Protein backbone atom coordinates (compact mmCIF):
# COMPACT_ATOMS: atom_id res chain seq x y z
CA UNK A 1 0.00 0.00 0.00
CA UNK A 2 2.28 2.74 -1.28
CA UNK A 3 2.02 5.90 0.82
CA UNK A 4 -0.76 4.75 3.17
CA UNK A 5 -0.89 2.65 6.34
CA UNK A 6 -4.21 1.05 5.36
CA UNK A 7 -7.11 1.15 2.93
CA UNK A 8 -9.02 3.23 5.49
CA UNK A 9 -6.19 5.78 5.55
CA UNK A 10 -6.26 5.96 1.75
CA UNK A 11 -10.05 6.43 1.79
CA UNK A 12 -9.70 9.25 4.33
CA UNK A 13 -7.08 10.93 2.15
CA UNK A 14 -9.38 10.67 -0.88
CA UNK A 15 -12.30 12.07 1.12
CA UNK A 16 -10.38 15.16 2.16
CA UNK A 17 -8.73 15.87 -1.16
CA UNK A 18 -10.11 18.89 -3.05
CA UNK A 19 -11.43 17.72 -6.41
CA UNK A 20 -13.53 18.62 -9.44
CA UNK A 21 -16.13 16.41 -11.07
CA UNK A 22 -16.19 16.71 -14.86
CA UNK A 23 -18.47 13.87 -15.97
CA UNK A 24 -21.84 13.85 -14.26
CA UNK A 25 -25.24 13.55 -15.92
CA UNK A 26 -27.60 15.40 -13.62
CA UNK A 27 -30.49 13.09 -14.57
CA UNK A 28 -28.25 10.18 -13.56
CA UNK A 29 -28.10 11.54 -10.02
CA UNK A 30 -31.85 10.90 -9.56
CA UNK A 31 -31.97 8.52 -6.59
CA UNK A 32 -34.93 6.09 -6.42
CA UNK A 33 -36.21 7.84 -3.27
CA UNK A 34 -36.45 11.15 -5.12
CA UNK A 35 -37.92 9.38 -8.16
CA UNK A 36 -40.76 8.18 -5.96
CA UNK A 37 -41.23 11.55 -4.27
CA UNK A 38 -41.38 13.43 -7.59
CA UNK A 39 -43.70 10.84 -9.15
CA UNK A 40 -46.09 11.42 -6.25
CA UNK A 41 -45.75 15.23 -6.38
CA UNK A 42 -46.44 15.22 -10.13
CA UNK A 43 -49.16 12.53 -10.20
CA UNK A 44 -47.10 10.19 -12.37
CA UNK A 45 -47.24 6.42 -11.95
CA UNK A 46 -43.98 4.46 -12.00
CA UNK A 47 -43.38 1.01 -13.46
CA UNK A 48 -41.96 -0.04 -10.05
CA UNK A 49 -43.81 -0.27 -6.76
CA UNK A 50 -40.90 0.26 -4.36
CA UNK A 51 -37.44 1.77 -4.05
CA UNK A 52 -36.05 -1.75 -3.68
CA UNK A 53 -37.74 -2.85 -6.90
CA UNK A 54 -36.15 0.09 -8.72
CA UNK A 55 -32.69 -0.72 -7.37
CA UNK A 56 -33.15 -4.39 -8.29
CA UNK A 57 -33.75 -3.34 -11.91
CA UNK A 58 -30.31 -1.71 -12.07
CA UNK A 59 -28.59 -4.74 -13.51
CA UNK A 60 -27.04 -3.90 -16.86
CA UNK A 61 -25.09 -5.95 -19.42
CA UNK A 62 -24.38 -2.97 -21.68
CA UNK A 63 -24.91 0.78 -22.12
CA UNK A 64 -28.32 0.39 -23.84
CA UNK A 65 -29.77 -1.59 -20.90
CA UNK A 66 -28.97 1.36 -18.65
CA UNK A 67 -30.18 4.01 -21.10
CA UNK A 68 -33.61 2.35 -21.42
CA UNK A 69 -34.16 2.65 -17.68
CA UNK A 70 -32.48 6.07 -17.40
CA UNK A 71 -34.90 7.67 -19.88
CA UNK A 72 -37.81 6.02 -18.06
CA UNK A 73 -36.60 7.37 -14.70
CA UNK A 74 -36.22 10.97 -15.86
CA UNK A 75 -39.91 11.09 -16.84
CA UNK A 76 -40.75 12.19 -13.27
CA UNK A 77 -38.93 15.51 -13.87
CA UNK A 78 -41.41 18.15 -14.98
CA UNK A 79 -41.21 21.49 -13.17
CA UNK A 80 -38.46 24.04 -12.59
CA UNK A 81 -38.60 23.02 -8.91
CA UNK A 82 -38.01 19.36 -9.86
CA UNK A 83 -34.80 20.27 -11.68
CA UNK A 84 -33.76 22.54 -8.82
CA UNK A 85 -34.34 19.79 -6.22
CA UNK A 86 -32.49 17.20 -8.32
CA UNK A 87 -29.49 19.47 -8.80
CA UNK A 88 -29.40 20.63 -5.16
CA UNK A 89 -29.38 17.03 -3.94
CA UNK A 90 -26.42 16.22 -6.20
CA UNK A 91 -24.52 19.34 -5.12
CA UNK A 92 -24.98 18.44 -1.44
CA UNK A 93 -23.54 14.98 -2.12
CA UNK A 94 -20.68 16.45 -4.12
CA UNK A 95 -19.83 18.99 -1.41
CA UNK A 96 -19.70 16.17 1.14
CA UNK A 97 -17.16 14.43 -1.15
CA UNK A 98 -14.81 17.42 -1.20
CA UNK A 99 -15.88 18.51 -4.70
CA UNK A 100 -15.04 22.20 -5.22
CA UNK A 101 -16.04 22.50 -8.89
CA UNK A 102 -18.54 20.60 -11.06
CA UNK A 103 -19.18 20.46 -14.79
CA UNK A 104 -22.65 19.06 -15.18
CA UNK A 105 -24.25 17.45 -18.23
CA UNK A 106 -27.94 17.62 -18.93
CA UNK A 107 -30.02 15.94 -21.64
CA UNK A 108 -32.63 18.51 -22.79
CA UNK A 109 -34.03 16.21 -25.47
CA UNK A 110 -35.03 13.73 -22.76
CA UNK A 111 -37.33 16.45 -21.43
CA UNK A 112 -38.45 18.62 -24.36
CA UNK A 113 -39.64 15.45 -26.14
CA UNK A 114 -42.07 14.99 -23.21
CA UNK A 115 -43.34 18.57 -23.50
CA UNK A 116 -41.20 19.97 -20.67
CA UNK A 117 -40.07 23.50 -21.60
CA UNK A 118 -36.32 24.18 -21.88
CA UNK A 119 -36.92 27.03 -19.39
CA UNK A 120 -37.89 24.55 -16.64
CA UNK A 121 -34.81 22.41 -17.27
CA UNK A 122 -32.14 25.11 -17.55
CA UNK A 123 -33.86 27.40 -15.05
CA UNK A 124 -34.04 24.83 -12.26
CA UNK A 125 -30.52 23.49 -12.77
CA UNK A 126 -29.00 26.97 -13.04
CA UNK A 127 -30.81 28.22 -9.91
CA UNK A 128 -29.33 25.34 -7.87
CA UNK A 129 -25.87 25.99 -9.34
CA UNK A 130 -26.11 29.69 -8.45
CA UNK A 131 -27.08 28.79 -4.89
CA UNK A 132 -24.14 26.37 -4.62
CA UNK A 133 -21.80 29.11 -5.81
CA UNK A 134 -22.78 31.03 -2.65
CA UNK A 135 -21.49 28.03 -0.70
CA UNK A 136 -18.20 27.99 -2.62
CA UNK A 137 -18.85 25.35 -5.31
CA UNK A 138 -18.23 26.67 -8.80
CA UNK A 139 -19.77 25.07 -11.87
CA UNK A 140 -20.22 24.87 -15.60
CA UNK A 141 -23.26 23.53 -17.45
CA UNK A 142 -22.84 21.35 -20.56
CA UNK A 143 -25.81 20.56 -22.81
CA UNK A 144 -25.65 17.11 -24.41
CA UNK A 145 -27.21 16.00 -27.68
CA UNK A 146 -28.66 12.50 -27.77
CA UNK A 147 -26.71 10.71 -30.48
CA UNK A 148 -29.44 8.13 -31.21
CA UNK A 149 -31.55 11.05 -32.51
CA UNK A 150 -30.87 12.93 -35.75
CA UNK A 151 -28.50 15.82 -36.30
CA UNK A 152 -31.56 17.90 -37.29
CA UNK A 153 -33.03 17.24 -33.82
CA UNK A 154 -29.74 18.40 -32.26
CA UNK A 155 -29.88 21.57 -34.40
CA UNK A 156 -33.41 22.27 -33.11
CA UNK A 157 -32.20 21.74 -29.55
CA UNK A 158 -29.33 24.18 -30.08
CA UNK A 159 -31.86 26.71 -31.45
CA UNK A 160 -34.02 26.23 -28.34
CA UNK A 161 -30.99 26.78 -26.12
CA UNK A 162 -29.98 30.10 -27.72
CA UNK A 163 -31.88 32.22 -25.13
CA UNK A 164 -29.96 30.42 -22.34
CA UNK A 165 -26.42 30.55 -23.71
CA UNK A 166 -25.27 32.80 -20.86
CA UNK A 167 -25.93 29.80 -18.59
CA UNK A 168 -24.52 27.07 -20.87
CA UNK A 169 -20.77 26.72 -21.27
CA UNK A 170 -20.45 23.79 -23.63
CA UNK A 171 -22.11 21.03 -25.62
CA UNK A 172 -21.57 17.30 -25.40
CA UNK A 173 -22.68 14.07 -27.07
CA UNK A 174 -24.14 11.12 -25.18
CA UNK A 175 -26.58 8.17 -25.36
CA UNK A 176 -26.20 5.03 -27.56
CA UNK A 177 -22.69 5.18 -28.97
CA UNK A 178 -22.30 2.26 -31.39
CA UNK A 179 -23.86 3.09 -34.76
CA UNK A 180 -23.91 6.82 -33.99
CA UNK A 181 -20.40 8.14 -34.70
CA UNK A 182 -19.36 11.71 -33.84
CA UNK A 183 -19.18 12.66 -37.55
CA UNK A 184 -23.00 12.32 -37.70
CA UNK A 185 -23.04 15.61 -35.75
CA UNK A 186 -20.28 17.52 -37.58
CA UNK A 187 -22.41 20.52 -38.55
CA UNK A 188 -24.20 21.13 -35.28
CA UNK A 189 -20.92 20.95 -33.34
CA UNK A 190 -19.29 23.37 -35.81
CA UNK A 191 -22.15 25.79 -35.14
CA UNK A 192 -21.82 25.32 -31.38
CA UNK A 193 -18.09 26.06 -31.65
CA UNK A 194 -18.78 29.20 -33.68
CA UNK A 195 -21.10 30.31 -30.84
CA UNK A 196 -18.12 30.10 -28.47
CA UNK A 197 -19.24 26.91 -26.72
CA UNK A 198 -16.75 24.32 -25.44
CA UNK A 199 -16.98 20.91 -27.09
CA UNK A 200 -16.91 17.51 -25.41
CA UNK A 201 -18.14 14.09 -26.53
CA UNK A 202 -18.55 10.60 -25.13
CA UNK A 203 -16.21 8.48 -27.26
CA UNK A 204 -14.59 5.09 -26.87
CA UNK A 205 -16.91 3.91 -24.10
CA UNK A 206 -18.35 1.11 -26.26
CA UNK A 207 -17.46 2.61 -29.64
CA UNK A 208 -14.17 1.89 -31.47
CA UNK A 209 -11.01 4.04 -31.51
CA UNK A 210 -12.18 5.50 -34.83
CA UNK A 211 -14.99 7.29 -32.95
CA UNK A 212 -12.36 8.92 -30.71
CA UNK A 213 -10.44 10.04 -33.82
CA UNK A 214 -13.66 11.56 -35.15
CA UNK A 215 -14.28 13.35 -31.85
CA UNK A 216 -10.81 14.91 -32.21
CA UNK A 217 -10.68 15.60 -35.94
CA UNK A 218 -14.32 16.28 -36.82
CA UNK A 219 -15.85 17.68 -33.63
CA UNK A 220 -12.56 19.22 -32.40
CA UNK A 221 -13.31 18.34 -28.81
CA UNK A 222 -11.80 20.16 -25.83
CA UNK A 223 -12.13 17.00 -23.71
CA UNK A 224 -13.04 13.33 -24.18
CA UNK A 225 -15.67 11.59 -22.04
CA UNK A 226 -14.65 8.02 -21.16
CA UNK A 227 -12.10 7.32 -23.95
CA UNK A 228 -11.30 3.82 -22.65
CA UNK A 229 -11.01 2.26 -26.09
CA UNK A 230 -8.45 4.86 -27.20
CA UNK A 231 -5.91 2.58 -25.53
CA UNK A 232 -6.37 0.08 -28.37
CA UNK A 233 -4.60 2.50 -30.76
CA UNK A 234 -1.08 3.71 -29.89
CA UNK A 235 -1.12 6.53 -32.43
CA UNK A 236 -4.39 7.76 -30.95
CA UNK A 237 -2.94 7.72 -27.44
CA UNK A 238 0.04 9.75 -28.68
CA UNK A 239 -2.30 12.24 -30.33
CA UNK A 240 -4.39 12.72 -27.16
CA UNK A 241 -1.22 13.10 -25.08
CA UNK A 242 0.33 15.64 -27.46
CA UNK A 243 -2.93 17.62 -27.61
CA UNK A 244 -2.97 17.58 -23.78
CA UNK A 245 -6.61 16.52 -23.71
CA UNK A 246 -8.28 15.26 -20.54
CA UNK A 247 -10.23 11.99 -20.33
CA UNK A 248 -13.20 11.91 -17.94
CA UNK A 249 -13.05 8.31 -16.75
CA UNK A 250 -15.89 6.70 -14.78
CA UNK A 251 -14.79 3.50 -13.01
CA UNK A 252 -18.07 2.33 -11.39
CA UNK A 253 -19.96 3.15 -14.59
CA UNK A 254 -17.46 1.05 -16.55
CA UNK A 255 -18.01 -1.81 -14.13
CA UNK A 256 -21.83 -1.61 -14.09
CA UNK A 257 -22.04 -1.34 -17.89
CA UNK A 258 -19.53 -4.16 -18.43
CA UNK A 259 -17.01 -1.92 -20.20
CA UNK A 260 -14.55 -3.68 -17.86
CA UNK A 261 -15.07 -7.15 -16.33
CA UNK A 262 -13.69 -6.11 -12.96
CA UNK A 263 -12.03 -3.03 -11.52
CA UNK A 264 -8.72 -4.86 -11.16
CA UNK A 265 -8.63 -4.80 -14.97
CA UNK A 266 -9.56 -1.12 -15.20
CA UNK A 267 -7.25 0.87 -17.53
CA UNK A 268 -6.95 3.94 -15.25
CA UNK A 269 -3.33 3.31 -14.23
CA UNK A 270 -2.34 2.44 -17.79
CA UNK A 271 -3.86 5.75 -18.91
CA UNK A 272 -1.78 7.70 -16.39
CA UNK A 273 1.35 5.75 -17.29
CA UNK A 274 0.78 6.53 -20.98
CA UNK A 275 0.76 10.25 -20.10
CA UNK A 276 -2.99 10.71 -20.53
CA UNK A 277 -4.67 13.26 -18.27
CA UNK A 278 -7.23 10.89 -16.75
CA UNK A 279 -9.76 11.99 -14.12
CA UNK A 280 -12.20 10.06 -11.91
CA UNK A 281 -15.93 10.78 -12.13
CA UNK A 282 -19.27 9.23 -11.23
CA UNK A 283 -21.22 9.52 -14.55
CA UNK A 284 -24.69 8.46 -13.27
CA UNK A 285 -24.12 7.87 -9.54
CA UNK A 286 -27.70 6.93 -8.63
CA UNK A 287 -27.54 4.09 -11.15
CA UNK A 288 -23.94 2.93 -10.86
CA UNK A 289 -23.50 2.64 -7.11
CA UNK A 290 -21.54 5.64 -5.97
CA UNK A 291 -20.60 9.30 -6.10
CA UNK A 292 -17.11 10.56 -6.88
CA UNK A 293 -15.36 9.45 -3.69
CA UNK A 294 -16.84 5.96 -3.97
CA UNK A 295 -15.41 5.84 -7.50
CA UNK A 296 -11.98 6.94 -6.27
CA UNK A 297 -11.97 4.46 -3.39
CA UNK A 298 -13.19 1.51 -5.47
CA UNK A 299 -10.61 1.99 -8.21
CA UNK A 300 -7.84 2.86 -5.72
CA UNK A 301 -8.49 -0.37 -3.80
CA UNK A 302 -8.71 -2.48 -6.97
CA UNK A 303 -5.52 -1.08 -8.52
CA UNK A 304 -3.74 -0.26 -5.26
CA UNK A 305 -3.31 3.34 -6.39
CA UNK A 306 -0.48 5.25 -4.77
CA UNK A 307 -0.64 8.59 -3.02
CA UNK A 308 1.04 10.24 -6.01
CA UNK A 309 -1.40 8.67 -8.46
CA UNK A 310 -4.38 9.84 -6.40
CA UNK A 311 -2.96 13.37 -6.19
CA UNK A 312 -2.36 13.31 -9.95
CA UNK A 313 -5.99 12.34 -10.59
CA UNK A 314 -7.23 15.20 -8.39
CA UNK A 315 -4.84 17.67 -10.07
CA UNK A 316 -6.03 16.50 -13.50
CA UNK A 317 -9.63 17.21 -12.51
CA UNK A 318 -8.87 20.93 -12.17
CA UNK A 319 -6.39 21.10 -15.07
CA UNK A 320 -9.01 19.47 -17.31
CA UNK A 321 -11.80 21.78 -16.16
CA UNK A 322 -13.06 24.82 -18.02
CA UNK A 323 -12.08 27.10 -15.13
CA UNK A 324 -9.76 30.04 -15.89
CA UNK A 325 -6.08 29.23 -15.25
CA UNK A 326 -5.88 31.43 -12.15
CA UNK A 327 -8.74 29.52 -10.51
CA UNK A 328 -7.20 26.19 -11.52
CA UNK A 329 -3.93 27.31 -9.91
CA UNK A 330 -5.72 28.18 -6.66
CA UNK A 331 -7.26 24.69 -6.52
CA UNK A 332 -3.91 23.04 -7.29
CA UNK A 333 -2.46 25.03 -4.40
CA UNK A 334 -5.26 23.73 -2.15
CA UNK A 335 -4.38 20.16 -3.17
CA UNK A 336 -0.71 20.81 -2.33
CA UNK A 337 -1.66 22.29 1.07
CA UNK A 338 -3.92 19.35 1.87
CA UNK A 339 -1.29 16.80 0.81
CA UNK A 340 1.37 18.59 2.86
CA UNK A 341 -0.67 18.19 6.05
CA UNK A 342 -1.25 14.49 5.43
The residue number with the shortest CB distance to ligand HPA is 174
Nearest to 313 by CA among 337, 340, 293: 293
Among 29, 120, 175, 328, binds ligand HPA (CB under 6 A): 175
Helix (H) or strand (E) holding 211: helix 209-217
Among 38, 46, 63, 94, binds ligand HPA (CB under 6 A): 63
283 binds ligand HPA (CB under 6 A): yes
- The whole-angstrom separation of Cα 31 and Cα 111 is 18
283 binds Zn ion (CB under 5 A): yes
Among 31, 160, 174, 309, binds ligand HPA (CB under 6 A): 174
Helix (H) or strand (E) holding 109: helix 109-112
DSSP assignments along 259-324, one per residue: SSSSGGG-THHHHHHTT-EEEE--BSHHHHT--HHHHHHHHHHHHT--HHHHHHHHHHHHHTSSS-
Q: CB 341: neighbour CB atoms within 10 A?
A: 6
Q: Which one is catalytic: 103, 205, 206, 309?
A: 205
CB closer to ligand HPA, 48 vs 106: 106
**Binders of ligand HPA in range 65-104 (CB under 6 A):** 70
CB closer to ligand HPA, 24 vs 311: 24
DSSP assignments along 156-169, one per residue: HHHHHHGGGTTT--
Q: How far is the CB of 24 from Zn ion (least distance, A)?
A: 8
109 binds ligand HPA (CB under 6 A): no
**Binders of ligand HPA in range 6-25 (CB under 6 A):** 25
Q: Strand 138-146 and strand 223-226: pairing?
A: unpaired
Binding site for ligand HPA (CB under 6 A): 25, 28, 63, 70, 174-175, 202, 205, 253, 283-284
Chain residues binding Zn ion by CB under 5 A are: 283
Amino acid sequence: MTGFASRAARAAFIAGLPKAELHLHIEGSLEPEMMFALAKRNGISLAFDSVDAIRAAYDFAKLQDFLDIYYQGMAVLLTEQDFFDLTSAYLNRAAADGVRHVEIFFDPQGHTARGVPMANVVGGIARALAEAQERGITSRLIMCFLRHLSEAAAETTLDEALPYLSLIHGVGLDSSEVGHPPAKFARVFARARSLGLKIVAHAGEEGPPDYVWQALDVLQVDRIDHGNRALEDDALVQRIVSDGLTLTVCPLSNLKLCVVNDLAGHPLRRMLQAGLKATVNSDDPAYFGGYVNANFVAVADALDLTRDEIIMLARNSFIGSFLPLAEQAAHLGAIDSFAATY
